[in-house]
């Protein structure tokens, strides 16, 4: 997936989408031991919400992303971070650079997720940890209804392409990814998330700001994408117009073996 898909509406992504995943970021940063004296790379850092949490926990933080517009917002959120424009599949860092590498909801969008996770394992030090997160299975996420609403608009090519948000969502998918990269002692867990918006318009804009939203707009135009999302979000909307979607995310963590 290219940068243009994630960079069309960076403010909406930063303000309406990324904060919904805060409990996931907090849980995983705790599991990996993010804290004073540790160096952390967030691979696919987006607009830097998780980087802010890691920096506040005391980490020295580096973020990498393919989308310059999101990195621009990350620079505002986390001025102390080193931010690098680059690809998950070819990380521009020396071997064994970081104590911790996290990939929050990013590896499914890599050109080759296995290669990208191999890169994460390469740049973490021996004895350091790598964590990856993504949606649990599609049927356990209410927001899947919104992805499904956009699929007919995007057309067959995008629908069948390899950049699917659920590419690693089958049970064991993340654990296999980390194991294949040579990481050991892999453990996994789940975090329930409530994606809450005060209006239907905010919920729709959050999805339009994603890569999938941008692809639907490019293929069918914004009015059609808005209409499809507004219809799909109706069943998650209360009488006051507030939206809540209950989702489940999964994470896996593995350690690079010592020599």
- Strand-pairing partners, residue 237, are 243
Min separation Cβ 238 and ligand SAM, Å: 25
Task: Pull the structure tokens for residue 74.
Answer: 């990350």
Rank residues 91 and 153 by Cβ distance to ligand SAM and give the closer one. 91
Q: Give whichever of 76 and 257 is closer to ligand SAM, judged by the CB atom.
A: 76
Q: How far apart are CA 17 and CA 21, in angstroms?
A: 8
To which H or E segment does residue 83 belong? strand 82-85
Cβ-contact 243, 196 below 8 angstroms: yes
* 100 is a site residue for ligand SAM (CB under 6 A): no
Q: Does 66 bind ligand SAM (CB under 6 A)?
A: yes
Alpha helix ranges (H) inside 36-188: 49-56, 68-77, 113-123, 144-154, 156-160, 173-180
User: Which C-beta is closer to ligand SAM: that of 104 or that of 236?
Assistant: 104
The minimum distance between CB 165 and ligand SAM, in angstroms, equals 7
Q: Which is nearer to ligand SAM, 38 or 210 (CB)?
A: 210
Pattern 80-99, ligand SAM, x by CB under 6 A: -------xx-----------
C-beta closer to ligand SAM: residue 1 or 120: 1
Does residue 105 touch ligand SAM according to CB under 6 A?
yes
Q: Which two tokens stand for residue 107?
A: 């590896």
Q: How far apart are CA 115 and CA 147, in angstroms?
A: 26
Rule CB under 6 A: say whether 1 interacts with ligand SAM: yes
Q: Which 3 state secondary structure label does DSSP give 229?
A: helix
Instruction: Please choose, from the candidates 86, 79, 130, 76, the residue with its C-alpha nearest in 3D space to the C-alpha of residue 111.
Output: 86
Interacting residues with ligand SAM between 200 and 229 (CB under 6 A): none
**Footprint of ligand SAM (CB under 6 A):** 1, 6, 18, 21, 44-46, 65-67, 70, 87-88, 104-106, 109-111
């Amino acid at each position: 997936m290219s940068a243009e898909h994630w960079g069309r509406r960076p403010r909406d992504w930063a303000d309406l989408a990324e904060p919904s995943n805060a409990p996931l970021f907090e849980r995983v940063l705790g599991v990996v031991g993010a804290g004073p004296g540790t160096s952390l790379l967030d691979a696919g850092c987006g607009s830097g919400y998780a980087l802010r949490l890691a920096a506040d926990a005391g980490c020295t933080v580096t973020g990498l992303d393919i989308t310059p517009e999101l990195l621009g917002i990350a620079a505002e959120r986390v001025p102390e971070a080193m931010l690098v424009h680059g690809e998950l599949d070819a990380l521009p860092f020396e071997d064994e650079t970081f104590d911790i590498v996290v990939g929050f909801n990013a590896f499914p969008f890599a050109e080759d997720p296995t290669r990208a996770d191999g890169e994460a394992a390469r740049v973490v030090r021996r004895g350091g940890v790598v964590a990856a997160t993504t949606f649990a299975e599609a049927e356990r996420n209410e927001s899947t209804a919104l992805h499904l609403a956009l699929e007919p608009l995007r057309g067959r090519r995008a629908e069948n392409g390899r950049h699917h948000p659920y590419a690693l969502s089958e049970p064991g998918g993340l654990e296999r990814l980390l194991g294949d990269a040579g990481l050991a002692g892999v453990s996994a867990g789940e975090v329930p998330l409530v994606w809450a918006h005060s209006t239907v318009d905010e919920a729709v804009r959050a999805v339009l700001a994603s890569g999938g939203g941008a692809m639907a707009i490019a293929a069918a135009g914004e009015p059609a994408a808005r209409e499809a999302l507004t219809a799909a979000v109706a069943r998650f909307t209360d009488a006051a117009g507030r939206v809540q979607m209950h989702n489940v995310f999964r994470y896996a963590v593995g350690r690079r073996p010592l020599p």
